[in-house]
């Protein structure tokens, strides 16, 4: 009896001990699942405006250069009065200035100048010019200034006008003098500027050129220039 009891106990221990050893082994024990580092669609925040890639800026178009002036203020000045008047016109119109100068300068002696000017008129001379206007074609309006010499424009001014094709241009004379106004210089200018439309000019006495700004403004306003 004792023998069968011992065999039964030995068999029971053989079955029970392996099962207990498996449950306590750390290498085979269950572990919690590792959380995934990839967020689910519900956890992924929608992109904000700052996160949206900015659009590439369009390339700037090439700067368009400002149109060149279509107004020319050409003048001949011996004493400086006509030059001063030309400067006032330039300030208000934004035109380009051009000094009409003879290839051979006029004398600086006043009495000798009177004789020279009178002789040029008698000869209907056309003195040679020292320089030419560049891009004459771009100008639509040409102011022409000069002093009154013997009731006419100096012959160098007529040389200037006859050096170019004035067809279709608008010519506007302005004049300074000690007296006598334009004389018959506007007729000479009109003849020499063949094909141009000649508008009403402005005469200013040489003694009051410095205070002629208001007169020039009113004149330009009336012309619409």
CATH of the domain at 124: 3.40.50.360
Percentage of the chain with pLDDT > 90? 68
> Looking at the predicted structure, is the pLDDT value of residue 32 above 70?
no
Confidence band of 100 (pLDDT split at 50, 70, 90) = very high
From 51-55, 172-176, 184-188, the region with the lowest mean pLDDT: 51-55
Give the domain extent around 137. Answer: 71-223
**Percentage of the chain surpassing pLDDT 70?**
70
The residue-averaged pLDDT of 183-205 equals 98
Classify residue 48: in a domain, yes or no: no
The verdict on residue 120 lying in a domain is yes
Q: Tell me: pLDDT of 139 over 90.
A: yes
Q: Is the pLDDT of residue 97 over 50?
A: yes
In a domain, 3, yes or no: no
- Give pLDDT, residue 68: 55
- Classify residue 47: in a domain, yes or no: no
Q: Tally the domains of the chain.
A: 1
Task: Evaluate if residue 81 carries a pLDDT over 90.
Answer: yes
Do the domain assignments include residue 42? no
Average pLDDT, the chain: 79
Task: Using the predicted structure, report yes or no on whether residue 18 has a pLDDT greater than 90.
Answer: no
Task: With respect to residue 191, please indicate whether it lies within any of the assigned structural domains.
Answer: yes
Q: Which two tokens stand for residue 128?
A: 């040679």
Q: Is residue 85 part of a domain?
A: yes
């Amino acid at each position: 009896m004792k023998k069968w009891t011992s065999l039964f106990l030995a068999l029971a221990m053989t079955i029970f001990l392996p099962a207990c050893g498996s449950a306590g082994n750390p290498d085979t024990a269950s572990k919690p699942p590792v959380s995934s580092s990839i967020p689910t669609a519900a956890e992924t925040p929608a992109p904000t405006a700052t996160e949206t890639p900015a659009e590439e800026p369009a390339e700037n178009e090439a700067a368009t250069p400002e149109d060149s002036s279509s107004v020319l203020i050409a003048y001949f000045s011996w004493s400086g009065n006509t030059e001063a008047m030309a400067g006032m016109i330039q300030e208000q119109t934004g035109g380009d200035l051009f000094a009409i100068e003879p290839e051979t300068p006029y004398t600086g002696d006043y009495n000798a100048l009177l004789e020279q000017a009178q002789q040029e008129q008698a000869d209907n001379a056309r003195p040679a010019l020292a320089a030419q206007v560049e891009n004459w074609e771009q100008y639509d309006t040409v102011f022409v200034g000069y002093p009154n010499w013997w009731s006419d424009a100096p012959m160098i001014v007529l040389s200037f006008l006859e050096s170019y094709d004035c067809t279709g241009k608008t010519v506007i004379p302005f004049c300074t003098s000690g007296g006598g106004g334009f004389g018959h210089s506007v007729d000479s200018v009109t003849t020499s500027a063949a094909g141009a439309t000649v508008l009403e000019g402005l005469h200013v006495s040489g003694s009051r050129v410095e205070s002629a700004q208001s007169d020039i403004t009113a004149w330009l306003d009336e012309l619409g220039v």
